[in-house]
Amino acid sequence: MQGHGTLILCDACGRAVPDQSSKEVLYQVNKVRYRLELCPTCLDAEMKRHDGHRGIPGFRKRAAIVVKIASSDDLPRTVTPG
Ligand SMILES: [Zn+2]
């Protein structure tokens, strides 16, 4: 079985979830995109927090979600990039 036993660490809360349960989410800030992988709990919270999102082919997953945010401060993580 391909990828058996692989766990993904959620980029928002750090929880380990099975690869097939994680979701690729791209946060678009102007022309820059931040790629995160979220656990189902964080994905659900993010979908409620942001109104608009659209689906695109993923980099690692078959499908990913793009969410537009005003700045990198809106990324769902405690450590800001840069
Ligand atoms: Zn999470």
Strands (E) located in 10-82? 16-18, 23-29, 32-38, 53-57, 63-68
pLDDT at residue number 80: 54
State pTM to two decimals: 0.84
Q: In Å, how far from its chain's centre is CA 23? A: 6
Segment 27-39, tens digit of pLDDT: 999 999 999 999 9
**Ion ligand 1, residue ranges at CB < 5 A:** 10, 12-13, 15, 39, 42
pLDDT at residue number 29: 95
DSSP 35: E
Q: How far is the CA of 24 from the centre of ligand 1 (A)?
A: 12
